[in-house]
Structure 1
Amino acid sequence: MSLVSKFATVGGATLVSRVFGFVREMMMASALGVGPVADAFNLAFRFPNLFRRLFAEGAFNAAFIPLFSRALEENGEDSARRFASEVYSTLFAVLAVFTVVAWIFMPFLVQTIIAPGLAYCVDEEAGREALSCAARFDLTVTLSRIMFPYLACMSLMAMVSGILNAFRRFFAAAAAPTVLNFVLIGVIAYAIQTGYDKSATAFLMSWGVLVAGILQLLIVVVAMRMAGFSVRLGMPRWTQNLKRLLILAGPAALIGGITQINLFVGQAIASFKPGAVSILQYADRPYQLPLGMVGVAIGVVLLPELSRALKAGRLKEAQHTQNRSLEFALFLTVPAAVALFIIPEPIIRVIYERGEFDASSTPLVASVLGLYALGLPAFVIMKVFQPGYFARENTRSPMIATLISAIANILLSLALFPLMAEQGIAVATTIAGWLNAGLLFWGLYRKDLWEIDRQLMKRAALVVLCSALMGLSLVAMMWELGDWLNPADPITAQIAAIGILVVVAMGVYFALALATGAADRRLVLAVLQRRRAKR
């Protein structure tokens, strides 16, 4: 299976998950709107999500896969099984203790870390939902306690997914997150149909998150057993393999979760303004579609491929893989960023503007989405640069880059929030993303670990040119379709107009890409010939 085919497998599964995530977010906006209850749910859900990325996906995809692959390649499956069992047993014990401690100290965590703005809340700012400050705090604490075990499920799932990825079985781990969307869509539909109020709906959604976490873990465990591999739960033991994993995983956890760190910091600061957390969350969903589809696919596939090439001493293959991965990332994310920057308001209006999400919320969310879009390529190409360090078992250098960008994000968010509210947080997140990407690239380049080939430079420049021309065509089409994009028009007309914009923009971009050579014409022809042969 080629590198692009592997990207497509993981990206396709992730795309399905993100599309259903759109549906989930649309229904949530309709049920909860923008306000204190939506803020409470998003803040409570963001906390386990942050730790999932820090100590699960980021750490294990970066640290566990190279070590597991080495044990598998050098010492065979029995050695890999012993190593995986050691890690599984230790992880299970740590998560159990961590969950209990978090339950006990959740009020303190909410007041100091999750939503510090609630400590400065006054009842006059409760907003149109008339939810008192004490009620907002209690609701956030309760929802956080319900959803926190989701972290344990996702951490164990991340480890099992790492095993599947090492065996080059990518689909189950990429498809499992869709379960969360299915469960929440069902829960929200039930709550709306039965006429539950916002607080009751938030409670049901929180229990739905926990149930979905258990189901996702079961899916990847079954897939692992079908792959002929299993792990055993035993007493945790301190071993050299575990020590090496922790040395690598500590910095890798911070590095892998930089996007979530930035979002978490932004939401914590946004908790000082009622509704701002919800605005950031709703803007994040459309932005996560291309980020997830491309970034997750590259991060999942590239690391094991690079690890194998470097372990075997195939340095030219490793360089080629890195350059083609960056080329692939730019080819898809630059036009997506341009489109989201130019037409955020029609997109947000069609996705969210119904039920409790009224017309006054649309411009606020759209302005944040447009600013997030400017950082989209940065957060995806970070997924290309990071494996260049992780495959060499170097986590110190990217950790330093991540710390610098995280500090910059915090300082910029604090400085801009009083001036620009949630838009200031979006600007800070975008700048921090580009800073991190630049530092990661410079670290590889100056150590001669990344050699930029001529093909990459040429196609990157052509991608930017084609994306700019596509952007101009979007502006022109928006002018022509202005009557259809009017908020007063029927939703069907608005959807049709956006459909036309997307289809024509994609047509313009891909036609220009093929004509100029921004896309690999030989690869496209090969794919088409394979499809014809299958028919």
Structure 2
Amino acid sequence: MNLVRAIGTIGGMTMVSRIAGFAREMLMARIMGASGAADAFLVAFRLPNTFRRLFGEGAFSAGFVPLFSKRLHGEGGIEDARAFSEEVLAVFLPSLMLFTLVFELAMPLFVAAIASGYVGAKFDLTVTLTRITFPYLLLISLVSLFSGVLNSLTRFAAAAFAPALLNVAMVGALLIVPDGGIATAHALAWGVVAGGVLQMALMWNSARRAGISLRLRRPRLTPGVRQFFVVVIPATLGAGVYQVSQLIDTFFATRLPEGSISYLNYADRLNQLPLSVIGTALGTAILPQISRMIAEDRPDEAAGVQSRAVELAMLLCVPAFLALAAVAEPLVAALFQGGKFTAEDARVTGMTLAIIAAGLPAYVLVKVITPGFYARQDTATPVKTAVIVLIANIVLNFALIPPFGIYGLAAAIALCSWLNCAMLYIVLRARGHFRIEPWLWGRIARQLAAGALMVAALIGMKLLLADFFAGSTGRRLIAVVALCGTGGIVYFGTALLIGGMDRQGLALILRRKRKA
């Protein structure tokens, strides 16, 4: 497998999905605004997505892909791998169908527990929309199975592109029913289901073309299925703590004034971009390296890999979180303001984004620190710290939301990110596995200094471009591009001059490129 080509394929297709996702959010903001119907739909969309992340993605892949790959490259080859897939499908599909049926019947009770702040017509609308969207969980979980098959066969394009189909279906729903009220909310809910069907069709056809056509079997707890659940259940419990935290945030947000769920959604959409690009990439890249070095009894080199990962994480996170904090409002206005999404909506969303972004470096650092536990087969410690953070999140919500509203909820999210990061680092340092060396503290300090200069430049540019930010959508987007360009040049230029980044490593990379 050509790793560079694989990364390019995944990255390119993922970028297509990201662009489609932003187009969806921009269109939805203008058509629906921060209305009660928008809030109801976002809760209805969040609930199946929460279970999707719990069952259908990380936990499932953690159990399925290694076992499928082991059989694929073993004596049995593709036939053994196909049989294993069919055994898992035979148990997985009826379990998902039963789970979906139970929730469809008990949906009013579930929505009442999660969105207790919604009453009357808004509550009824949320229940109806959630009943429409919930089958998406079944569809996307099956998509995860076929994605695991294709990724194991080193066919990445379809799985990486599939999420874009959901965005296309939802954009289509918005364009077909653009009134922005309850009818549009219903159209969006059906668009979610249509997106799931499209994703499922793409993955099934891609697997068939790759030589994997799965038949439905009678459900049986075969040794392979039991082995699958032995791996999946602990991973599900670990992921469950974070998903419960997400549901708790939803619970508190639904008790805030109308539009709060919408503000939180749009702010999180922007915050998630650097989180997913930087954090996930670094965590995925360093885990196999650290695992190999620990297995070869080279703990100092493993710690060195983590140090370099921390250096790179902060080099990229510092400008991201400072820029989001400094120019959050004009950024939100450029992307979302228009139609029913007012300037006041942009202001509240921008302030929410600025507060949430304060936890961005911590969240990314957690992705760098946790491989230090996983590489030593310690999955318990991150789960324990996550439980503590979950309790702290509840306490902080009760303390901060009454006086500060949605800003208090955003602050609780950011503070809990730092609490989780601090606890994991303290434990890893106490065990002697990793510590931030003086050279790294100095590098981070220089990065912060470069970031401070960048913030000053951004504020100056924001004042110079005030007329652009007050103009049409096109003029606002031009202003955002100018801001991003200025910020990047100032930050990375300053960091290079004052030692905020590794000059020798950069020079080595450039020499290799020239030779290539």
- TM-score band, normalised by the shorter chain? 0.7 to 0.9
Q: Work out the CA distance in 2 between the residues paired with 1:6 and 1:305.
A: 18
Q: By how many angstroms is 1:69 displaced?
A: 5.1
Q: By how many angstroms is 1:526 displaced?
A: 6.2
Q: By how many angstroms is 1:246 displaced?
A: 3.2
Q: 2:31 touches 2:339 (CA, 8 Å); kept in 1?
A: yes
| Equivalent residue letter for 1:200 | A
Q: 1:86 touches 1:236 (CA, 8 Å); kept in 2?
A: yes
Q: By how many angstroms is 1:424 displaced?
A: 1.0
Q: Work out the CA distance in 2 between the residues paired with 1:327 and 1:373.
A: 19
TM-aligned CA distance change 1:309 to 1:203, over 3 Å: farther
Q: 1:254 touches 1:402 (CA, 8 Å); kept in 2?
A: no
Residues 1:497 and 2:479 are matched in the alignment: yes
Q: Work out the CA distance in 2 between the residues paired with 1:457 and 1:184.
A: 45
Matched position secondary structure for 1:374:
helix
Q: Work out the CA distance in 1 between the residues paired with 2:186 and 2:507.
A: 52
Quote the residue 1:269 is aligned against: 252
Q: 2:361 aligns with which of 374, 377, 380?
A: 377
Q: Work out the CA distance in 2 between the residues paired with 1:140 and 1:366.
A: 26
Matched position secondary structure for 1:204:
helix
Q: Work out the CA distance in 2 between the residues paired with 1:183 and 1:27.
A: 13
Q: By how many angstroms is 1:163 displaced?
A: 4.2
| Equivalent residue letter for 1:184 | M
Q: 1:348 touches 1:366 (CA, 8 Å); kept in 2?
A: yes
Point out where structure 2 has 5 or more consecutive residues left out of the alignment.
none
Q: By how many angstroms is 1:514 displaced?
A: 3.3
Q: By how many angstroms is 1:221 displaced?
A: 4.1
| Equivalent residue letter for 1:92 | L
Q: By how many angstroms is 1:398 displaced?
A: 1.6
Quote the residue 1:356 is aligned against: 340
Q: Work out the CA distance in 2 between the residues paired with 1:95 and 1:218.
A: 18
Quote the residue 2:176 is aligned against: 190
Q: 2:242 touches 2:386 (CA, 8 Å); kept in 1?
A: no
Q: Work out the CA distance in 1 between the residues paired with 2:134 and 2:390.
A: 24
- Superposed CA offset, 1:50-81 (max 9, x none): 11111222312444445555556676745554
- Superposed CA offset, 1:310-353 (max 9, x none): 77888777656545444443332221111001111101111121
Q: By how many angstroms is 1:308 displaced?
A: 7.0
| Equivalent residue letter for 2:31 | A
TM-aligned CA distance change 1:521 to 1:293, over 3 Å: same
Residues 1:421 and 2:411 are matched in the alignment: no
Matched position secondary structure for 2:56:
helix
TM-aligned CA distance change 1:459 to 1:259, over 3 Å: farther
Q: Work out the CA distance in 1 between the residues paired with 2:67 and 2:162.
A: 24
Matched position secondary structure for 2:177:
helix
Q: 2:129 touches 2:186 (CA, 8 Å); kept in 1?
A: yes
Q: 1:11 touches 1:293 (CA, 8 Å); kept in 2?
A: no
TM-aligned CA distance change 1:225 to 1:296, over 3 Å: farther
Matched position secondary structure for 1:59:
helix
- Superposed CA offset, 1:206-255 (max 9, x none): 11111111222333444445555565542333245544543443342343
Q: 2:334 touches 2:473 (CA, 8 Å); kept in 1?
A: yes
Q: By how many angstroms is 1:427 displaced?
A: 0.8
Quote the residue 1:125 is aligned against: none
Quote the residue 2:41 is aligned against: 41
TM-aligned CA distance change 1:520 to 1:2, over 3 Å: farther
| Equivalent residue letter for 2:251 | A
Residues 1:107 and 2:108 are matched in the alignment: yes
Q: 2:496 aligns with which of 514, 525, 528?
A: 514
TM-aligned CA distance change 1:363 to 1:245, over 3 Å: same
Quote the residue 2:199 is aligned against: 216
TM-aligned CA distance change 1:338 to 1:402, over 3 Å: same
Q: 1:139 aligns with which of 116, 119, 125?
A: 125
Q: 2:189 aligns with which of 198, 202, 206?
A: 206
Matched position secondary structure for 1:360:
helix
Pairing of 1:380-529 with structure 2 (within 5 A): 380-390=364-374, 393-450=377-434, 459-485=443-469, 487=470, 489-521=471-503, 524=506
Q: State the percentage of identical aligned residues.
A: 40
Q: By how many angstroms is 1:185 displaced?
A: 1.5
- Superposed CA offset, 1:58-107 (max 9, x none): 31244444555555667674555444443333222211110111111111
- Superposed CA offset, 1:279-298 (max 9, x none): 11121111122222233434
Residues 1:159 and 2:145 are matched in the alignment: yes
Q: 2:325 touches 2:353 (CA, 8 Å); kept in 1?
A: yes
Matched position secondary structure for 1:361:
helix
Q: 2:65 touches 2:148 (CA, 8 Å); kept in 1?
A: yes
Q: By how many angstroms is 1:420 displaced?
A: 1.1
| Equivalent residue letter for 1:297 | A
Q: 1:329 aligns with which of 298, 313, 317?
A: 313
TM-aligned CA distance change 1:189 to 1:522, over 3 Å: farther
TM-aligned CA distance change 1:505 to 1:163, over 3 Å: same
TM-aligned CA distance change 1:4 to 1:422, over 3 Å: farther
Quote the residue 1:127 is aligned against: none
Q: When the two structures are superposed, what TM-score results if normalisation uses the length of structure 2?
A: 0.87
Matched position secondary structure for 1:357:
coil
Quote the residue 1:97 is aligned against: 98
Q: Work out the CA distance in 2 between the residues paired with 1:459 and 1:493.
A: 37
Q: 1:58 touches 1:257 (CA, 8 Å); kept in 2?
A: no
Quote the residue 2:219 is aligned against: 236
Q: By how many angstroms is 1:482 displaced?
A: 3.7
Give the length in aligned residue pairs.
Answer: 514
| Equivalent residue letter for 1:268 | F
Q: 1:14 touches 1:175 (CA, 8 Å); kept in 2?
A: yes
When structure 1 is superposed on structure 2, of 326-335 and 397-406 the one drifting more is 326-335
| Equivalent residue letter for 2:480 | I
Q: 2:165 touches 2:198 (CA, 8 Å); kept in 1?
A: yes
TM-aligned CA distance change 1:322 to 1:248, over 3 Å: farther
Q: Work out the CA distance in 2 between the residues paired with 1:64 and 1:30.
A: 41
TM-aligned CA distance change 1:510 to 1:420, over 3 Å: same
- Between the two structures, name the one with larger relative contact order (CA 8 Å, sep ≥ 6): 1
Matched position secondary structure for 1:116:
coil
Quote the residue 1:25 is aligned against: 25
When structure 1 is superposed on structure 2, of 520-529 and 290-299 the one drifting more is 520-529
Q: By how many angstroms is 1:117 displaced?
A: 1.1
Q: By how many angstroms is 1:388 displaced?
A: 4.2
Quote the residue 2:268 is aligned against: 284
Residues 1:181 and 2:167 are matched in the alignment: yes
When structure 1 is superposed on structure 2, of 525-534 and 84-93 the one drifting more is 525-534
Q: When the two structures are superposed, what TM-score results if normalisation uses the length of structure 1?
A: 0.84
TM-aligned CA distance change 1:425 to 1:244, over 3 Å: farther
Q: Work out the CA distance in 1 between the residues paired with 2:193 and 2:337.
A: 28
Q: Work out the CA distance in 2 between the residues paired with 1:495 and 1:85.
A: 49
| Equivalent residue letter for 1:515 | L
Matched position secondary structure for 2:447:
helix
Quote the residue 2:352 is aligned against: 368
- Superposed CA offset, 1:425-450 (max 9, x none): 11111111222233333444444554
TM-aligned CA distance change 1:80 to 1:322, over 3 Å: farther
When structure 1 is superposed on structure 2, of 137-146 and 210-219 the one drifting more is 210-219
Q: By how many angstroms is 1:390 displaced?
A: 4.2
| Equivalent residue letter for 2:103 | A
Q: Work out the CA distance in 1 between the residues paired with 2:127 and 2:82.
A: 39
Q: By how many angstroms is 1:202 displaced?
A: 0.9
Q: 2:311 touches 2:440 (CA, 8 Å); kept in 1?
A: yes
Q: Work out the CA distance in 2 between the residues paired with 1:533 and 1:448.
A: 40
When structure 1 is superposed on structure 2, of 343-352 and 504-513 the one drifting more is 504-513
